Structure formats: C-alpha cells, structure tokens
C-alpha cells in the first residue's frame, strides 16, 4: 500500500474502506488522514496497572485484566441479541457482555489467546461482568510503547458498532503514524519553536496520541493549541492593521466650540476617570486620518451614553454628522430624549427615526439629513434603510451591539464616504480572552469605574414561601417614594404560557397594589408600540410605581428613581441577562435591591447563577462565570459573533497560550507586516491557507 499522506482520503487508510469512511465523515467529520490525526484524545487512561478477577471489589472505576476468552456466544434476549464472552484468568472468571454491534464484535474477538480487557465492572446475579469492554490481544498491547497513558478518543455509537470504538480509532491512528518515513509537515518557523521551546508538529502529534506521561502530553498539546491560536491572531491582528492603518477615515482635527461649550457649561456631572480616559482614546483615534473601529465596554450604568454624545459633538464640530443606533424603539427613544435634554441649551439638532415615525414626519428629517441641518440622528434599524442619506456622516454609534448582525453594521458603514468612525458600545462585559478573539480586530476601550456615589445593589434569592414578605418590602419601598420593576421571562418556545404567567402576575399585583393608592404599568411584546411607549412613559415619569414587564426593559432603560428589581422565574434567565436586568436599578443615590424569585428546586447551573448574582455586582466576574457555564459560542449569541470554532484550544482554559499567541502575532506583524521576510515564509503560506478556509467575519464586528 502506498504511503498515506495527510490529504489522503480517509477510505484509503488501511483498515477503513468505503463503508467505515462514510461513517467517519458523517459522524466525526473526518475526511482525510490528516483529519484523523487531528482527532486527538479527549483524555487518557492509565493502563500500566492490572488487577485479577479475584481482586475486583468495586464498580467505581474501570479496571484492566489480563487473561483468555474461552467462549463467545450470541444469546437471544427480549430486546434483541446479546454477545456474551467468557473471560478467565488465573484467579477466576467473569462475563464480557455486548448489547449491540453483534457481527463485528464476534468476528473480532480473539478466542483462546492472551488478551487485555479494559472496562468498568458491574455486579449482576452475584457475579462480576463487564459491559462493552475494550479487548485487545496481549501481543499488540505490548508492542505499543510507553504503555503509560492510553488515549481515549471521542466516538459515536454508530462507529463503535462498526469496530471504531476509541480503541479502533487508536488503531487507525497508529497505522497512519507508524508508516515508514511518514512525517507530518511543520507549520511553524524553526526560530519560533526554538524560542518557545516547543516540539515539532510531527513530534507533538505523536506524543499527543501516545504520551509517556501527563506533563509531556500537556506540552505537546500546548504546541498544537498555540499553533491554532497563533494563526487566528495573525489573521485578526492583520485585519486590524488593514482596518485602521490603510483605511482612510474622516479626520476630527479640532475640539471645537460645541464640544467645549457642552463640556464646561452643560455637562451635569464631572466625568469619571475612566470616561475621561476613553474620551482621550477616541480623540486620538479619530484624529489619525485612519478609520476608527472601537468597541466600548462598560458595565451597565457606567455612563457610556455621555461618551457617545461627546464623540458626536466632536464629529459635529468638525463638520460631520453622527448617528446612534439602538436595538429597540424604547431605547432609541430614551437616547433621543436624553440627548435632547442635555443639548437643550445648544445649537444642535437631534432627530429620532424609528419604524413608527410616519411618512409625513419622516420627510423633514430626511431633508435635514441630506442638507446637513440634522446633526445627530438617533434611531433603530430604520437608520440603515436605503432612503436614509446623510450629507456627511462621520460617526456611527451602535449601542448594545450584540443585538445587531454584521450585515446591518456593514450597511451603516456604507452610509459615509469614507466610512464613518464606528463606536460600538456594549454593556455585556466580555472577558478579556474572549474579546481578544471575538473582537481581535477592534480596539477596545473599557469604562471600568462607576460614577461616584452609587451604592452597590443588594441582591437576594427568594422562593415562593417568601412572596408575601417580598410584597411587603415592595410596599415599603413605594412608601419611601421609590419605584419597582417586576420582570417575567419570555421565551419564544413557551411564549403562550409565559404570557399567561405575566398576566397572572400582573393581576395578582394589581390586587395587592390597587388603585387609587397605586398605579401599575405593564409592557410586553404583544402590545402595540404606541401603548408600550405610553406605559413606559408613565413609569419613567413617576406616575406608575410598579412596572410589570417581560424582558423588553432589558436593555438600556434609565429610571433613576427605581430602586427594586424583582425577577420572576429567575432560574430561567442567563447570567448576562440577569446582570443586565439588575443594572436597571441602582442608578440613583438610593440603596437599591434585586430580588431573584425562583422555584424551590434548582439545577446545579441555575443554583450557581443565583449564587453568583448574590455574591457580586462585577459584570466582568459574572461574564467569566457565564463563559464557564455556557462556553464562548453561546455566550456571544450567534455565529455572527465571530467566535471561531477551535479544534484544539479552549478560550477559557487556554488563556496563557492565547496571550502568548497574541503577543507573538503582534510582534511578528509589527516587524514584518507583509510576512515577506524569509524566516516568515512558512507563516505566510499557512496563514493564506487558514484564511482561505474562513469567512470574513471580523471586518466590522
């Protein structure tokens, strides 16, 4: 048989063939010999120890036996056939049992030969047996070197039934790696390997599939993780270079009259240190002549809005317009009203454009945009419609970015020529490691300081038993002049039931808090936008003391007088959402509270979420726990997030490797932006290969 190379189709690997190849492709996505080699073990078993049948005491852990299979039989049973093999060593006998995979197993079991058996023992009818053990001839077992750690590969039932259990996969991999003169090509430059003291790619894969001990396995694995992350970071760092240096942007050279007038006369508070720092970063960025693509992260209530307003004034002072896009109508309206109020004394025209602005009212707005008389346009998706044309758009602010798709951002980008500077604001704190990857091509600013005088929100977890006391607490707070949110989950899959819960909750609150002493507002997705507006406004203006709502209030709404957030069925919310919701209170000077109502019995994850919420107010800490619970893909919502599919590395666990990869990628591209130097030839070649296989997801994330 000719030597198998990495790109050899999997069916030509000895021991595979067309039928198993179909299953390897369908079940594990293994198309080539290279894919097989990249199917690395997910754990190892220590196979250096043997026990004897007479010594078996517990069914707690898998054990390894050595002996002979004396007999194999197919035994009919109610639920199909079982395979039962008699196994024997010097001290006793037990049965090996298979419930599935008949023909393959019978054909493969070596009878009357010395075998090694590995599996988890179970006690049945006073005797020990092992279900679905791994069985291997002693001589093949002994030819494997090391015999320290045995790799365990992920596989599926279908593959197992065709002889490709973990051990079967191990056999295939050994076949490929064991060929004469077979070598896996190198993908990293020798000088980097030497600098980082990493093994060659070939050595790394061989070690990972058959390590002498755990530390050596880790080292080999880190080399492979590093490689994966390095190419990802090279891609991102290079995109960032292209997106900034080399992408002409509008230039805000001057800090002008409006900015200064607002800053000194109309800003109702002193900026926090973090806000000032971010403003300096933005000013520097927008004055380079290159394009700004900046992500502004700041916990709920950290004061991102005023940063966007100041940046807008900077744009206006330099003869440009600005737009602010928000994900919901309520939030857009709130921004609009907030801007109007802050800019009341100033000669700045702000307009609001949402889906519910009527055609007749649209006309003057659109005309004002085209003539340049409208300075700031606030709105929803309506902003990106083709009919919306600016005279000179210099800044696009996107609030709560994770709600917007990449395509929508691209449309916004196309509304200026050259494209406007982009400031993306998010209140979902993203752990640094993730930001480095998901937003590796954006510059990141962080507001890591809350405005002074805020009291940390007190969070408690309560169940139904405490409902009356919770209601009393609400009544007490209202008596002090405060307002209260009561939020219900609304999940699409259970929308009807959820809606009923909300309505029932509203009813019972209405009975406990009756008019005329109390007023309740209610907001949910089935209401007309005008009605929602009205209800929201009654609450925002203090006419209603309690707002009962679904998650529509999740993003952005600002009612500083609200001091209590009650979250019903809190176990059904994710951590990021809970934190967002809690951020709706604690905005004024009063002590604020968050009450998480759940049922009695909670899953382990839900309990950890509640515990985390009660323990900390720190959005970054919460995001870390969230990342652990959900994994990066989920955390970011959709694929659009740009969190790549990683084969080897794990963004949560492999931070050190990620940081090293980021550092090396930046260093290399700084020295040699085009990767043209001879020692980088290999990086250049591989990067092209990696880039070709990847969608262009990071252009404007």
Residues that bind ligand ADP (CB under 6 A): 269, 271-272, 275, 298, 300-306, 427, 451, 558, 560, 587
Q: Which is nearer to ligand ADP, 67 or 429 (CB)?
A: 429
Residue least distant from Mg ion (Cβ): 556
Residue least distant from ligand ADP (Cβ): 303
- 684: tokens are 């250049």
- State the binding partner of 189 from Mg ion, ligand ADP, none, CB within 5 to 8 A by kind: none
Q: Which is nearer to Mg ion, 429 or 556 (CB)?
A: 556
- State the binding partner of 489 from Mg ion, ligand ADP, none, CB within 5 to 8 A by kind: none
Rounded-to-integer distance, Cα 612 and Cα 615, Å: 5
Rounded-to-integer distance, Cα 550 and Cα 522, Å: 9
From 144-152, 168-176, 442-450, 549-557, give the range in contact with Mg ion by CB under 5 A.
Answer: 549-557
> DSSP state, 263?
I
C-alpha distances out from residue 307 to 296, 298, 324, 589, Å? 9, 11, 12, 21
Does residue 489 contact residue 568 with C-beta atoms inside 8 Å? yes
Q: Which is nearer to Mg ion, 172 or 295 (CB)?
A: 295
Closest separation between CB of residue 453 and ligand ADP, Å? 7
Rounded-to-integer distance, Cα 197 and Cα 332, Å: 53
From 198-206, 378-386, 551-559, 597-605, give the range in contact with Mg ion by CB under 5 A.
Answer: 551-559
Closest separation between CB of residue 422 and ligand ADP, Å? 17
- State the binding partner of 587 from Mg ion, ligand ADP, none, CB within 5 to 8 A by kind: ligand ADP
Closest separation between CB of residue 583 and ligand ADP, Å? 6
C-alpha distances out from residue 184 to 34, 170, 173, 200, 232, Å? 9, 17, 13, 9, 21
Rounded-to-integer distance, Cα 526 and Cα 314, Å: 40
Closest separation between CB of residue 576 and Mg ion, Å? 15
Q: Which is nearer to Mg ion, 151 or 556 (CB)?
A: 556
| Residue 433: φ, ψ to 5° | -60, -40
Rounded-to-integer distance, Cα 348 and Cα 266, Å: 13
- State the binding partner of 429 from Mg ion, ligand ADP, none, CB within 5 to 8 A by kind: none
Does residue 390 contact residue 362 with C-beta atoms inside 8 Å? no
- State the binding partner of 272 from Mg ion, ligand ADP, none, CB within 5 to 8 A by kind: ligand ADP
Q: Which is nearer to Mg ion, 119 or 556 (CB)?
A: 556
Q: Which is nearer to Mg ion, 211 or 556 (CB)?
A: 556
Q: Based on the shown chain and the rule CB under 5 A, indicate whether residue 419 belongs to the binding site for Mg ion.
A: no
Closest separation between CB of residue 609 and Mg ion, Å? 23
Q: Based on the shown chain and the rule CB under 5 A, indicate whether residue 379 belongs to the binding site for Mg ion.
A: no
Q: Based on the shown chain and the rule CB under 5 A, indicate whether residue 619 belongs to the binding site for Mg ion.
A: no
Q: Which is nearer to ligand ADP, 151 or 429 (CB)?
A: 429
Closest separation between CB of residue 338 and ligand ADP, Å? 8
- State the binding partner of 233 from Mg ion, ligand ADP, none, CB within 5 to 8 A by kind: none
Does residue 103 contact residue 112 with C-beta atoms inside 8 Å? no
- 83: tokens are 């395979």
- Nearest-10 Cα torsion for 139, 145, 148, 152: -80
Altogether, the residues listed in the chain come to a count of 701
- State the binding partner of 475 from Mg ion, ligand ADP, none, CB within 5 to 8 A by kind: none
Q: Which is nearer to ligand ADP, 342 or 575 (CB)?
A: 342
Closest separation between CB of residue 298 and ligand ADP, Å? 5
Q: Based on the shown chain and the rule CB under 5 A, indicate whether residue 298 belongs to the binding site for Mg ion.
A: no
Helix, strand or coil for residue 449? coil
From 383-391, 516-524, 541-549, 556-564, give the range in contact with Mg ion by CB under 5 A.
Answer: 556-564
From 91-99, 217-225, 447-455, 554-562, give the range in contact with Mg ion by CB under 5 A.
Answer: 554-562
- 495: tokens are 């929308």
- State the binding partner of 546 from Mg ion, ligand ADP, none, CB within 5 to 8 A by kind: none
- State the binding partner of 328 from ligand ADP, Mg ion, none, CB within 5 to 8 A by kind: none
Rounded-to-integer distance, Cα 610 and Cα 256, Å: 48
Q: Which is nearer to ligand ADP, 315 or 559 (CB)?
A: 559
**According to the 3-state scheme, what is the secondary structure of 604-665?**
HHHHHHHHHHHHCCCHHHHHHHHHHHHHHHHHCCCHHHCCCCCCCCCCCCCHHHHHHHHHHH
Q: Which is nearer to ligand ADP, 300 or 412 (CB)?
A: 300
Closest separation between CB of residue 557 and ligand ADP, Å? 9
Tell me, rounded to whole angstroms, the distance of Cα 662 from its chain centroid.
19
- 521: tokens are 């507002």
Among 249, 301, 556, 642, binds Mg ion (CB under 5 A): 556
Q: What does the buried/exposed string (b/e) look like for 132-141 if buried means 16 or more CB atoms within 10 Å of the residue's CB?
A: bbbbbeeeeb
Rounded-to-integer distance, Cα 275 and Cα 450, Å: 9
Q: Which is nearer to ligand ADP, 303 or 644 (CB)?
A: 303
- State the binding partner of 271 from ligand ADP, Mg ion, none, CB within 5 to 8 A by kind: ligand ADP
Does residue 8 contact residue 33 with C-beta atoms inside 8 Å? yes
Euclidean distance between the first and final Cα of the chain, in Å?
49
Binding-residue total with Mg ion (CB under 5 A)? 1
Closest separation between CB of residue 540 and ligand ADP, Å? 12
Rounded-to-integer distance, Cα 271 and Cα 156, Å: 57
Q: Which is nearer to ligand ADP, 225 or 335 (CB)?
A: 335
* Helices (H) then strands (E): counts for the chain: 24, 22
Footprint of Mg ion (CB under 5 A): 556
């Amino acid at each position: 048989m000719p030597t198998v190379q990495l790109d050899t189709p999997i069916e030509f690997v000895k021991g595979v063939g067309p039928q198993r190849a179909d299953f390897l492709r369908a079940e594990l996505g293994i198309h080539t010999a290279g894919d097989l080699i990249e199917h690395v073990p997910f754990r190892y078993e220590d196979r250096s120890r043997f026990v004897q049948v007479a010594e078996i005491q517990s069914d707690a852990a898998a054990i390894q036996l050595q002996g002979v299979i004396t007999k194999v039989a197919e035994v009919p049973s109610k639920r199909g056939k079982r395979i039962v093999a008699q196994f024997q060593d010097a001290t006793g006998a037990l049965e090996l049992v298979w419930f599935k995979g008949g023909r393959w197993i019978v054909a493969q079991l070596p009878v009357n030969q010395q075998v090694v058996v590995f599996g988890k023992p179970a006690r049945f009818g006073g005797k020990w047996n092992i279900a679905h053990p791994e069985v291997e001839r002693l001589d093949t077992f002994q030819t494997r070197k090391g015999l320290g750690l045995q790799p365990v590969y992920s596989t599926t039932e279908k593959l197992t039934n065709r002889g490709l259990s973990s051990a079967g996969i191990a056999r295939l991999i050994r076949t490929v790696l064991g060929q004469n003169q077979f070598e896996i090509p190198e993908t990293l430059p020798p000088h980097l390997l030497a600098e980082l003291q990493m093994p060659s790619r070939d050595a790394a894969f061989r070690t990972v599939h058959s390590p002498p001990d755990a530390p050596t396995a880790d080292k080999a694995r880190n080399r492979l993780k590093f490689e994966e992350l390095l190419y990802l970071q090279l891609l991102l760092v290079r995109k960032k270079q292209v997106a900034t240096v080399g992408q002409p942007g509008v230039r805000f050279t001057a800090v002008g009259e409006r900015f200064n007038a607002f800053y000194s006369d109309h800003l109702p508070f002193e900026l926090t240190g973090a806000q000032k720092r971010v403003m300096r970063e933005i000013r520097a960025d927008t004055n380079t002549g290159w394009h700004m693509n900046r992500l502004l992260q700041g916990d709920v209530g950290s004061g991102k809005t005023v940063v966007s307003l100041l940046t807008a004034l900077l744009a206006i002072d330099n003869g440009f317009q600005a737009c602010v896009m928000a994900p919901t109508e309520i939030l857009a309206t709130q921004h609009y009203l907030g801007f109007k109020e802050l800019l009341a004394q100033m000669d700045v025209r702000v307009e609001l454009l949402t889906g519910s602005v009527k055609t007749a009212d649209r006309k003057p707005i659109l005309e004002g945009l085209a003539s340049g008389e409208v300075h700031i346009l606030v709105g929803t998706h309506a902003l990106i419609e083709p009919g919306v044309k600016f005279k000179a758009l210099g800044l696009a602010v996107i609030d709560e970015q994770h709600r917007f798709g990449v395509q929508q951002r691209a449309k916004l980008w196309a509304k200026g020529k050259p494209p406007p500077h982009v400031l993306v604001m998010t209140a979902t704190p993203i752990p640094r490691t993730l930001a480095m990857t998901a937003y590796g091509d954006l510059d990141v600013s962080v507001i890591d300081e809350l405005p002074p005088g805020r009291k940390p929100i007190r969070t408690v977890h309560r169940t139904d038993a405490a409902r009356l006391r919770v209601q009393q607490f609400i009544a007490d707070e209202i008596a002090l002049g405060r307002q209260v949110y009561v939020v219900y989950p609304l999940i699409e899959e259970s929308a009807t039931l959820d809606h009923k819960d909300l309505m029932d909750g509203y009813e019972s609150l209405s009975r406990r808090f009756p008019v005329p002493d109390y007023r309740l507002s209610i907001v949910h997705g089935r209401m007309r936008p005008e009605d929602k507006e009205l209800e929201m406004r009654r609450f925002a203006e203090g006419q209603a003391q309690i707002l009962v709502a679904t998650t529509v209030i999740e993003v952005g709404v600002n009612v500083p007088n609200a001091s209590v957030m009650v979250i019903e069925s809190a176990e059904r919310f994710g951590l990021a959402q809970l934190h967002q919701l809690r951020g709706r209170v604690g905005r004024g000077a009063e002590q604020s509270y968050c009450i998480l109502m759940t049922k009695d019995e909670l899953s382990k994850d839900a309990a950890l979420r509640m515990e985390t919420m009660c323990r900390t107010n720190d959005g970054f800490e919460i995001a870390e726990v969230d990342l652990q619970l959900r994994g990066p893909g989920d955390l970011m919502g959709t694929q659009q997030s740009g969190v790549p599919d990683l084969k080897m590395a794990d963004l949560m666990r492999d931070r050190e490797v990620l940081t090293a990869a980021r550092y090396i990628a930046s260093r290399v591209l700084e020295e040699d932006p085009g990767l043209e130097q001879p020692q980088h030839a290999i990086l250049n070649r591989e990067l092209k290969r990696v880039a070709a296989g990847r969608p262009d997801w990071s252009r404007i994330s």
